Every structure is written in C-alpha cells, then in structure tokens.
Amino acid sequence: MEQAVTKKKESFFDGSRLEYIGISILGLLLTVFTVGLLYPYSIVMKMRWDVRHTVIDGKRLYFTGSAAGLFGTWIKIWLLGVITFTIYFWFASSRIKKWKVSHMHFE
C-alpha cells in the first residue's frame, strides 16, 4: 500500500526587526504619554503588524480587532485593578490574549 505523500506547506514570519522596533517604540510612547489610555490602540497596532507578517501552512493571517472593541475590556481591567490594589492585573493578560486570538483569522 502506498501512502499519499502530502506536500508540507510553509510557515514563516516576514516582518523586519526595524519595523518591529518602530512599532514597539510608537506603542510605548502612545501608552506613556496618555497614561495608559491608548494602550488598547497600541495592542491593536502591534497585533495587526504581527499577524500581517505571519503565514501558517501557506495561509496568511489577518486581524479583525479594533481599539474601540478592546477599550471596554481595558476600562474594566483598570477599574478592577484599582479596586483590588493591582491583583486583578495578574489575571488581565489572559483576557487580552483571548480577545487577540478571537480576532485572528486565515485569509
């Protein structure tokens, strides 16, 4: 019996270090100068860049999230973080990660 040989599709990342550094610095500046208010915009900006340059099994990813969509979650995280004296911030990263993944798709 012959097994069907499937051609392995390529997975890769085609973003440059210089672009990544620029996006990271811009996101940091936006977050610092707005005292965290534009952090959701910074997250979305970095995610769009990351996802735009990612190919998995020959399929490019795209990101559908928006800063406005993340803003409500971010406000809840901040309020619960203040109320719990920053304890909630430890749990917030998983909520943001779930939001990110729910907005990533294959083309």
pLDDT tens-digit series, residues 28-47:
999 999 988 899 999 999 99
Domain count of the chain?
Answer: 1
Following DSSP, what letter does each residue of 53-71 receive, concatenated? TEEETTEEEEE---HHHHH
Is position 7 within any domain?
no
Question: pLDDT band for position 49 (50/70/90)?
Answer: very high
Question: pLDDT band for position 5 (50/70/90)?
Answer: low
Is position 47 within any domain?
yes
Is position 44 within any domain?
yes
Is position 5 within any domain?
no
What residue numbers bound the domain in which 67 lies?
12-106
Residues 19/49, Cβ–Cβ less than 8 Å: yes
Is position 3 within any domain?
no
Total-model pTM = 0.78
Is position 2 within any domain?
no
